Chain A
Amino acid sequence: MSIDALIIAFVTWFVICYFIVLNGGYLMLNLLAIFSLRRRGEERILDDLPQAYSGLEPPISLLVPAYNEASTIASSVRSMLQLQYSEMEIIVINDGSRDDTLQVLKDEFGLLPFPEAYRVQIETKPINGIFRSTRYPNLRVIDKVNGGKADSLNAGINASRYPLFCGVDADSILQRDSLQKVVKPFLHDPTVVATGGTVRVANGCDVRGGFLTSVGLPRNIWALFQVVEYLRAFLFGRLGWSAINGMLIISGAFGVFRKEAVILAGGYRPKTIGEDMELVVRMHRVLRERRQPYRIEFVPEPVCWTEAPEDRATLRNQRIRWQRGLSESLSSNWGLMFSRNGGVPGWFAFPFMVLFEWLGPLVELGGYVFMIIAFALDWISWGAAGIFLFVAIGLGIMLSASGLLLEEMSFQIYPKGRHLAWLGLIVIIENFGYRQLNSYWRLVGLWRWATQKEASWGVMTRKGSWQRK
């Protein structure tokens, strides 16, 4: 066999084996998630009963970073004030907004300057002032010089009074019992340092008074693709890793952290795009280095809903940013990989992320391009090219279908038969173009990370057409 033929054979097999191992890994996560969901399903009788408080639940500080959110901030804060929890405070951090965010907050909530003895535990950009609501004693607003989302969260941590804090995006739609659900692991296990909940796509749903009132599917095809993606990412991606304490991501849209552990790890890293993931990976690394027992848990119940982009350009930007965030999180915590006390995060989760999430777009797109070129130049037979597509697309559909199965086994959020039929259809058609496009966007993200362009608050075009007053 000639050298050329050997190279072609090697690349062909590398690509095919990569797809098989990648999907095999996800399949294992899927099995772990099934076990986890079954056990939770058995306890549903208890979840359905009204919850009582003893007053001993750990109090929570809700941190809401806001940058140019004048149009939505008042309704977001109002809905957060209605969350059911025994003791909480809300701290909105106005990160040097250029619009009227601060003025809206002052007018809506009767803010007055408050002479707070501000405690610097993590360095941040300077604070211009701290305000407290005259109507809601548990609402404070920090006005600070612009420094990005991570810097805002750090300022919120400094001002927070409670042992747990919850980072919430200003545009997140929570459920009244979201905090109750996501804080549960902290109650049962003192070693829990962070929990995250399932985030779902709000497009197509009915939202009134800041809360979700009925679930539906979006009509927009981009948003529909994302519904299936979120099912896959949260229901078996995170739940599977959580079962073996290897979860590396907690969504910035809604996650609860033990403040002490976050400060120990150094707080959020400023100038980072994926500050949520970077913090979690760093917490793993630091706590593992210190040999401190800890758990980072995932709560599969849907606790947070978010508006997904409905146009290609916004979605593209979002995915590019996510990939850059992933790159930053992994590259700044290489020490975790294969470290002596790395455990599941260091020996499995981190390498899995590097191989399949970080470098994934390169191999996936490279694989497709190689197969097309190799077929066009007659390096490989049509049969081999066909088998490549058959395996890649077949396994992709199988994984998405398993995400849908987990949803049907557990929460059955989408009530109508036609919802299920639509999702079934999307599970198939997303594999013919959308996933490949997504890989391309992620590859662009990887490139931009490699060329090190400066990070900033992301611009997200939100329509909010599903939201009613």
Chain B
Amino acid sequence: MSSTLSDPLLAAAFWTGFGALIVTLLLAGEIVNLRMALRRRQRRERNTLAKWRPILNAAVIGEIPDALPHLRRGERTIFLKFWVHLHQSLRGSASAALNEVALRLECDVLARDLLRGRRRAARLLAILALGYLRDRKAWDALQQQAASADSTASLQALWALVQIDRKEAAATMMPSFIKRGDWALSQVVNILQEAREDCAEVLERIIPELSNDRLPRALQLAEALRADLPPAMQAVLLRHEEIAVLAAALRIVSSPAVADDVRAHAAHADWRVRVQAAKALGRIGGREDVATLLRLLNDPEWWVRYRAAQALAELPFLGRAALERMRDEAADRYAADMLTQVMAEKEMA
């Protein structure tokens, strides 16, 4: 063996194998250690929940004990997690009672401490707790979190700010809602549902000032929050040159006053605009738009034909017989096929 190891390459190979053996043993030790830590954590969680679950359950039904036990250091994070979980499914007096228990245990102080700490998981938990507690003192720290590059933490901080003061959150954070592409629009809308009216006001104010690259997201937000923009503003947006803005603007059209602008886009060169024009005509169109929709039914793009057929089927003054006549008279086979499909969909719905 010693002669083999005198060859430097064989020696290197041997020591590589030996290193792998040592690392494997260390990995095995770490796996066992992690499993034991998991068991300890589970035991601690069981004990903590056995102590606090009855108290929080009693609080939820309005029976907060006069004297609360001491919240030990080792119990704090587990308690806060459970408390957040309970909060998620509660509203009104039950939620207020949970807050009362947490405040008496000084969880607001604890959460603010955790928010200042370096552990990201603890910060996320603190943000949730401070949001439910509607902790005004944490406003600045939460705003800092909301401005951070960490998408998850910033979005949760935004939620907490909305919980604390929806009007101020809408006013101060709106530029961020629009600017931050890393914030999923679906999540932003979820968070802002409670501040819908406040956001609509702010959106109406800032949309005219936004640059072309920000406008589509702002309009998507307006659509999702069902913010009714004034017809004059809708008309201005419908004369925009950017395809993305035009398509987004057509999606929020709600006033027959802008019908002429919408009709003009039915012949737009870009199919993404034509498809939205067809949809918009389905919402605000009248008898005079049937011809336009029939023309769109011959469009080379499948989606335009589909939306045009849907729009025709939705027009309240067109019955099944009228749609069948249109189908039979259609010169284009694709148009007839699409009307057949949409009529079948309507029938099966």
Contacts and interface: CB of A to CB of B under 8 A. Distances in A.
Nearest to B80: A45
Given A398-B23, A402-B27, A189 B340 contact: no
Contacts of B3: 381, 383
A117 interface: yes
15 contacts: A20-B16, A42-B119, A45-B128, A49-B84, A50-B89, A56-B185, A57-B186, A119-B302, A187-B186, A391-B16, A394-B20, A395-B20, A405-B27, A405-B34, A412-B38
Contacts of A458: none
A45 B84 contact: yes
Interface in A46-97: 46, 48-50, 52-57
Contact of A391 (B17, B31, B151, B189): B17
B334 interface: yes
B265 to A, nearest CB: 22
Interface string B168-199: 00000000000001111111011001000000
A52 B190 contact: yes
Contacts of A190: 181
Interface residues of A, number: 54
Nearest to A409: B34
A117 B88 contact: no
In the A-B complex, the 9 residue pairs with the smallest Cβ-Cβ separation, listed nearest first, are A383-B4, A187-B184, A56-B186, A394-B20, A42-B121, A390-B17, A391-B17, A117-B337, A54-B189
Contacts of B264: none
B151 A188 contact: yes
A135 to B, nearest CB: 10
Given A115-B341, A137-B348, A381-B4, A395 B85 contact: no
Nearest to A402: B27
A20 B13 contact: yes
Contact of A387 (B14, B28, B125, B341): B14
B341 A117 contact: yes
Contacts, number: 148
B332 to A, nearest CB: 11
Contacts of B331: none
Contacts of B84: 45, 49
Nearest to A391: B17
A33 interface: no
Contacts of B14: 387, 390-391
Given A57-B186, A424-B31, A117 B302 contact: yes
B349 interface: yes
Contact of B121 (A41, A50, A402, A404): A41
B88 A49 contact: yes
B334 A117 contact: yes
Interface in B72-107: 81, 84-85, 88-89
A465 interface: no
Given A54-B193, A117-B334, A388-B13, A137 B34 contact: no
Interface centre among B186, B193, B340, B344 (most CB of A within 10 A): B186
Interface in B8-47: 9-10, 13-14, 16-18, 20-21, 23-24, 27-28, 30-31, 34-35, 38
Given A137-B348, A390-B17, A115 B121 contact: no
Given A383-B3, A409-B34, 19 more contacts: A13-B9, A20-B13, A49-B88, A55-B186, A55-B224, A56-B224, A115-B341, A116-B341, A117-B302, A188-B184, A381-B3, A383-B1, A388-B13, A391-B14, A391-B17, A398-B21, A408-B35, A420-B35, A424-B28
A132 B89 CA distance: 37
B142 interface: no
B189 A56 contact: yes
A433 interface: no
B120 interface: yes
Given A391-B13, A401-B28, A417 B20 contact: no
